[in-house]
Structure 1
């Protein structure tokens, strides 16, 4: 028999089924809407990415097509060039990167002369006065591994008569401790000449220095051994006359200079630490040429401590042969005291008319230095630190003797005893106040006694002079 379903149950099932179908359809539509929204967002992202790529390509292309805007410069770093002070009070421009250096310095010496007694070769009274003894602006330093020095003299040696180029040389290194000096330079013969003019214990140098050349033109090798305990000089020069700079004219003859000096205890802490001794010598030929003035410049003339001439050869005397010099030397410095001594010998062949003579002149210097304020002293002078000041006392005895044969021969003699002294002996006492390393005041009293040099062959009047100096070193 067929089954029977009540109508109410059928309607309920249909209603439930309808609700389920509706829910299913609604869920499907909602899912479809979400998918479309995701697709739209993905499309938007892809579009934005494409635009970003295009913009980047445009920027990159523009960067290659248009010059870039200069960037703001950075602050400069530390420079390798600088200015530094020098020990003598000057200053230097230094290029540390390239190893170059240019030093600026200057020396000014204003002197006074007060003659208490004395006369010239003609018997005239010696005149008092002030003079500019030295004015020397100096450029020195090193460039491309070479040292150099250029020093003009602007004072004309106190007379105002001329302006000269005093030093002009280049130092070329040779090995670790030596160098070759080429140009116009100070002669390494007299120990007193080798002392710097600003460090002299008295206003002027002694008489032995008058037998040595001042400055000469040529080349010299400077070397040392045993950590500076042995020092050597060997040079070849034009050949300057005694007490003079190199002559304006070159006579073609050359002169060899040699010096050896020992300081055996230099590197030891002993009482003999400051002891030094040695010898220097020259050998060469000289020949006077040209008119009288040029020939005279190739001959010596000797001067006193006050720079007054007391010996010169007669007119017509010329250099005509060998010229040799020998200078034994000794120095000692210990704490605040110092001692320098040397003997000078100058032997030269001269001619006047038909006569030829080999004349030998000799001289000596002994100089004592003492610093009562206690500062140490060396060959380079009183050693000051900071702004301290010091007093220095100097005492010197020196003498110069002319070969007696220079006065023999009557009318053909090489020097006249009426105007040229046969001998000069000097005693000097000096006091210096070193205000600091740049400023110094000096006061000297000098007495020079002569044999000969006055009319009739009499002794020239004793020269007593008070000399003062104001010195500025920069």
Structure 2
């Protein structure tokens, strides 16, 4: 009889062998996994020890052969508020700026004549061509401005501004060199921001630029400005930088904006007074020196309507006084001043004290709504700012009657020099961008005297245009 278990044994043996092999393989896998975990643990432990050692070790000092290279300053190029460009070093505050102004004018006379009775010529001219270099080095500011237009003729190219601003603590700064005088408030307005193409008649009584030193400071949290200077002394409306004589001139100005920090209707109100006092005397009969110290007055079209006669020379004191007023509110502006110029003059050893007076009142309005200030129309940020500005001005200048008295010793000829000039002007400025402006004005100037036989010179009526490019 066959055993019923004869075929089960080999089958069970095979199954047991497979089971043992499987268990053995599983045991190896678990062993490998444990070894990998152990290795990972040791690596993490070594990394922790190395990091701890690096944190506790002192920094390595450079040896004599180690060269430490300092970081080089990185200059930055930026656009300035006046549209120019500046190269700025943020590490030391040094700055070099470059900007420029180009004004091309057209003058077209409907009527008018010169002192000799000749008709006035129409035409175009380059009124101002001024590259400007400015900046700051070691805390000292500077400005250099040549005038390349030569009064529209290409001649007499000059150095307009050349000064340094030396700070004195936090109180103010000294401006040393050739600079704009702080007498006429109309003169203090930047040429690129004038509401009308030319300045008013009262400005003719004040010096333009002079060579000297001035103290400039701001008081009462910026609400009061003070200027006090000592200069060579320039004639009315003139720009003289050389030493004309041994005399010197003191200039002073104080201007207050008491409501500048108040949010009220009076916030834009400002008022003040400026003046000069000095001595001007001709030296050694030098004709050029005499001419530099005598006034010559011009109309809005820059045509001369008054000059002293040949043989007149300054022989004493020269003083000026200019009360002035400003008011700006939103898109409306007003600037006004009254000027006195009192100078001792001599002809044929006969001395006279001549007191000439002038006034200006200028109104500005921006119908497109942009705000306006003493610095001009605010077009805001960006490159697409546009605005329309309308302006009106009335101004006058009166010559002292004593200038025409004295017969052969009189200081001015009534047949060529006008006694009075009265001007009104209307203007429109189209601000096409921050850099481009087109202006058109109409000016009418009437005279008392100034023509042959003592008659009134013909009224000067002129349409003026200007294309202005600044950057």
Corresponding residue for residue 444 of structure 1 = 441
- 1:89 corresponds to 2:83: yes
**Given that residues 247 and 297 in structure 1 are in contact (C-alpha distance below 8 angstroms), is that contact kept between their aligned partners in structure 2?**
no
1:77 to partner: Cα distance? 7.2
Unaligned runs of 5+ in 1: 1-67
TM-score w.r.t. the length of structure 1 is 0.83
- 1:123 alignment partner, SS class: coil
Structure 2 counterpart of 1:454, from 433, 451, 466: 451
Query: Any idea what the Cα deviations from partners look like across 1:403-426, whole Å, max 9, x if unmatched?
Result: 000000112110000000000000
Greater shift in the superposed pair: 301-310 or 409-418: 409-418
Task: Provide the aligned C-alpha RMSD in A.
Answer: 1.7
Unaligned runs of 5+ in 2: 1-64
- 1:210 alignment partner, SS class: helix
- 1:201 corresponds to 2:195: yes
Corresponding residue for residue 349 of structure 2 = 354
Structure 1 counterpart of 2:132, from 120, 128, 138: 138
Matches within 5 A, 1:153-192: 153-192=147-186
- 1:151 corresponds to 2:148: no
Mapped partners of 2:201, 2:179: distance in 1: 21
Corresponding residue for residue 44 of structure 1 = none
**Given that residues 424 and 451 in structure 1 are in contact (C-alpha distance below 8 angstroms), is that contact kept between their aligned partners in structure 2?**
yes
Corresponding residue for residue 246 of structure 2 = 252
Mapped partners of 1:323, 1:115: distance in 2: 35
Corresponding residue for residue 411 of structure 2 = 414
**Given that residues 338 and 377 in structure 1 are in contact (C-alpha distance below 8 angstroms), is that contact kept between their aligned partners in structure 2?**
yes
Query: Any idea what the Cα deviations from partners look like across 1:30-77, whole Å, max 9, x if unmatched?
Result: xxxxxxxxxxxxxxxxxxxxxxxxxxxxxxxxxxxxxx9x99x99x97
**Given that residues 171 and 182 in structure 1 are in contact (C-alpha distance below 8 angstroms), is that contact kept between their aligned partners in structure 2?**
yes
Query: Any idea what the Cα deviations from partners look like across 1:68-115, whole Å, max 9, x if unmatched?
Result: 9x99x99x9784311111122110000111110000000000000000
Mapped partners of 1:252, 1:159: distance in 2: 32
Structure 1 counterpart of 2:392, from 381, 391, 395: 395
- 2:204 alignment partner, SS class: helix
Structure 2 counterpart of 1:312, from 307, 310, 326: 307
Mapped partners of 2:316, 2:98: distance in 1: 42
Mapped partners of 1:97, 1:79: distance in 2: 6
**Given that residues 247 and 298 in structure 1 are in contact (C-alpha distance below 8 angstroms), is that contact kept between their aligned partners in structure 2?**
no
Aligned residues: 404
Mapped partners of 2:262, 2:272: distance in 1: 19
Larger Rg: 1
- 1:226 corresponds to 2:223: no
Mapped partners of 2:306, 2:242: distance in 1: 22
1:247 to partner: Cα distance? 5.2
Corresponding residue for residue 469 of structure 1 = 466
Query: Any idea what the Cα deviations from partners look like across 1:418-457, whole Å, max 9, x if unmatched?
Result: 0000000000000000001110000000000000000011
**Given that residues 217 and 246 in structure 1 are in contact (C-alpha distance below 8 angstroms), is that contact kept between their aligned partners in structure 2?**
yes
Mapped partners of 2:455, 2:213: distance in 1: 44
- 1:299 corresponds to 2:294: yes
1:346 to partner: Cα distance? 0.1
**Given that residues 151 and 168 in structure 1 are in contact (C-alpha distance below 8 angstroms), is that contact kept between their aligned partners in structure 2?**
yes
Mapped partners of 1:176, 1:239: distance in 2: 29
